[in-house]
Amino acid sequence: MGVEAGRAKPHECSKPKDLAVAGFVYPIFWLSMEDSNQSLQEEECLALSSIYGLDFHQDPHLPDSADITLHLATGPVILRCHFPTTYPSDEPPYYELVAEWHNRAGVAHGISESVRKKVDERLLDLFVPGQVVVFEWIASLQEMLEEAYGREDEREPDEPPFPPASIQTTPLVHKPSSPSSEPNEDGDTTFPMTLPPNCPPITHSVNPVSDRKSIFIAHVAPIVSPTDAATVLQALLSNRRIMRATHNISAYRIVEDNGVVRQDCDDDGETAAGGRLLHMLQLADVRGAVVVVSRWYGGIQLGPARFKHINNVARTLLEHCGFIQSGSDMRGRVKSGKKR
């Protein structure tokens, strides 16, 4: 197996001042900075998991590392990232490139030294202290390796990263809402509603995600303004079942022709869920869309798994609506060069 390891050179940073108390020295704000970094790392990994599906792997016993599989004509490559406690505030992740390829003669080989050096330079150039960078590393690395070794013509995994999503587009005319209060686990997810004037078409995921009696369903619509996002939410809440959901987490993102980004999110009582959902939209470069995830609480706390379900059900529907490329095809989203 070919393994190339590297790390971008840490940027210069000032050391925190020390506080002496009763003969012990405690770095001021050091623990709070580590906590902030850990939180950013967790949010980044959650978003990457939602975007790349089974191509992303993180051992629950090793939360400070993650593997992302890239697919090339020569075979798969694993980008293995290790997150220090100083990432992303001061330093980039450590990384390894793992490749085990064989030529027609059966001889094993990996990524060449010249390509590895170019990768080192590119990844260093992309890192900006204080900003997560793994998504940009993945896109840039995919671009570089495809240029060097060719793009995989057709990916046929043993099983798809996600089952084909069943989707339902809200028609323009609806019958009155049924009296039932919530969808069931068998997939009853029809949502008759009253549409306000000029409401964009709304698409719903028909097959809910169910975990310990909690149910998650996504709704997606194309928008061109924040007003459109509010109109979509108004239409959704006209449905009795959606209105009675425990939470309706929402996020939208619009990129105008002049490059101005308009975006916002709402937790609707599910603390931090809206921000995590918006972070996924940012990493996937979703443009001109609003997504709302309805959650009906089943009486059993899910812990962090609820955030994964929220992002996954949203990502699957966004992908099928054309707002996100599939995890194996997310290429060319990030251009080379340092962020400004």
Q: Which of 326 and 132 is assigned the larger pLDDT?
A: 132
* Contact by Cβ (8 Å): 200, 228: yes
DSSP at 328: G
As for how many domains the chain has, the answer is 2
- Read off the pLDDT of residues 306-334 as tens digits, 9 standing for 90 and up: 888 888 888 888 888 888 875 444 444 44
SS3 of 21-60: ECCEEEECCHHHHHHHHHHHHHHHHHHHHHHHHHHEECCC
Q: What is the pLDDT of residue 169?
A: 43
| Residue range 187-215: mean pLDDT, rounded | 81
Domain co-membership, 111 together with 181 = no
What's 195's domain CATH number? Answer: 3.30.230.30
Residues 104 and 186 in one domain: no
Shortest CA distance to 279 belongs to which of 33, 57, 34, 46?
A: 46
What CATH number does the domain containing 30 carry?
3.10.110.10
- Do 206 and 318 share a structural domain? yes
The residue range of the domain holding 120 is: 2-149
108 with 248, same domain? no
Q: Is 103 exposed, middle or buried (0-12, 13-18, 19+ CB in 10 A)?
A: exposed
DSSP sequence for 130-182: TS--HHHHHHHHHHHHHHHH-B-S----SS-SSPPPPEEEPPSS-PPPPS--S
337 in any annotated domain: no
Token reading at 233: 């939410």
